[in-house]
Chain A
Amino acid sequence: MSLKGNRSSIAGHAVVFILLMIFWLLLSGYLDFFHVGSGVLCCGIVTLISGDLVFTEEKSLLRSARIFFRFILYIPLLLMEILYANIDVAYRVLHPSMPIDPGILTIETPFEGDVLRTAFANAMTLTPGTITVDVCGGTFTVHALVLAGGEKDLLETRDIQNHLGAIFEEGA
């Protein structure tokens, strides 16, 4: 935990501190000396202890910002997928004969980064008829609600896979 590291590390700490401070101000809503002062104190301590967790050395600040903004642009697409998946599940729940045929699938991905894998697993849990059961390296074990529609679901998941790969600048 040395603050004497290179310049990018100090810039990373500064960005973490500013983000934490914005979060503090949004949640507190008070702008008097006591509340802002205790915010500065708390955010400073948190930045000192865990400021190096957010921006690791191999990723520059600029690249992180680029990934963040591209991810925000991707959110509307994800919301549409989530809405579609929910209508599908609602149909299967409310249909009198309950047309489900569940089973376990495995999906291979070439993903490396932890954040990318987490984003992919979360997206897969929320979208078409699948829940991520296990992640082992780049291999995802998935429980699908409809096994027969697995091909179609898998194709749509691949669509998400390509999008996320492009966002995080990793091959998909």
Chain B
Amino acid sequence: MLTILAIICILIGLFFMVVGAVGLLRFPDFYTRAHASGKCDTLGEGMMLVGFILYEGMTLISVKLLLLAIFIFISSPTAVHALVHVAYSRGVAPWKKGDERQ
């Protein structure tokens, strides 16, 4: 039962990782790509780690995986913010509706 739940969590995580990759390819400019990769990767990795925790059960490895999930949820938005901030301060113009793809 717990294994099935774990597999469902991992599949949801994989779905969001794939969506993030597709968004990275389809979206028109740097900022919108940051949206796709930043949000979907965070939830995708989080869901996969939750799946691993459910699969592993109550061991020390689960605690380490939980710490890893917390770290990703703090560091991933920070990394996206750092990238976007540098792009914005260096004058990368945001894409407007109707513009060409960059």
Contacts and interface: CB of A to CB of B under 8 A. Distances in A.
A83 B43 contact: yes
Given A102-B96, A126-B42, A89 B81 contact: no
Interface in A35-66: none
B40 A86 contact: yes
A93 B36 contact: yes
Interface residues of A, number: 29
B60 A143 contact: no
Interface residues of B, number: 36
B2 interface: no
Interface in A115-169: 121-122, 125-126, 129, 131-134, 141, 143, 145
Interface string A77-120: 00000110110011001100010111110000000000000000
A3 interface: no
A103 B35 CA distance: 12
B33 to A, nearest CB: 10
B84 A143 contact: yes
A131 B64 contact: no
Contacts of A29: 60
B52 interface: no
Interface string B60-77: 100110010000011001
Interface in B85-102: 85, 88-89, 94-97
Contacts of B60: 26, 29
B93 to A, nearest CB: 10
8 contacts: A93-B26, A100-B27, A102-B31, A102-B35, A121-B81, A125-B81, A129-B35, A133-B88
